[in-house]
Amino acid sequence: ELKDDFFSNVFSFIFGGEQTSHWLVQPVGIAVSSTGKLYITDPGASGIHIIDQTEKEYDFINETDEGNFRSPVGCAISDDGTIFISDSERGDILALDDDNDVLFQIKEHLVRPTGIQIHDNRLYITDTGQHKIVVFDLDGKYITEFGQRGDGVGEFNFPVQLAVRDSLMVLDAVNYRVQKFNLAGNFSSTFGKLGNVAGRFASPKAIALDSDGNMY
């Protein structure tokens, strides 16, 4: 009851009235559109939470023309407003328009897509099941891929997320490290290993870069 009361109060404060909502169960990915819509992937709830901060509206979607979401993980939005959602259990990526209708599906070359980042009209995806990075253009056309399972340079052991700016930073989760590549997929450097002190990782989940190049 405490949880329900707390979230009801939060939604009432934000939206100014009662809202029918699905509580966050296992929020993983997040993206904000240019129109102020906040998209949160929630594999625990098998759907996407959408908060329109301008119109003060809430929506939750778990059904599409291509079937129900099962385990949506990654979320990214292109400059033209297309929303890309990866579903690790379905093994695909759905491209949605602003009305949440499916524009197209990306399925070939993918097994368990998780993290998504958009940079320079390219879609970079961590495929955790294949232990590699797969790259498409924003129309869903396959471009390239790199990586294989292992603990050597340029190899991955369950990569889960990535961050892209002038370079590509991959969170190589079960190797407990971050690997840096150029945008063509050539290895540059790495840091981190298993541990619980500064500079080491115990259970890394996500990675991000700010505009100054600082890594989180």
- Backbone φ/ψ region at 160: left (φ over 0), alpha (ψ -120 to 50), beta: alpha
Q: What is the pLDDT of residues 70-85, one digit of tens each?
A: 999 999 999 999 999 9
Which pLDDT score, from 0 to 100, does residue 213 have? 82
Rounded to an integer, the average pLDDT of 42-58 is: 93
Q: Is the separation of the CB atoms in 183 and 168 below 8 Å? A: yes
Which pLDDT score, from 0 to 100, does residue 2 have? 46
- Provide the mean pLDDT of the chain: 91
Query: What pTM does this model have?
Result: 0.89
Tokens 């869903």 -> residue: 140
Q: What is the pLDDT of residues 132-178, one digit of tens each?
A: 999 999 999 999 999 999 999 999 999 999 999 999 999 999 999 99
Which pLDDT score, from 0 to 100, does residue 11 have? 52
CA distances from 92 to 15, 23, 203, 207 (A): 33, 25, 25, 22
Q: What are phi and psi of 13, to 5 degrees?
A: -65, -45
Which pLDDT score, from 0 to 100, does residue 60 have? 95
Q: Is the separation of the CB atoms in 62 and 46 below 8 Å? A: yes
CA distances from 11 to 7, 16, 36, 56 (A): 6, 7, 17, 10
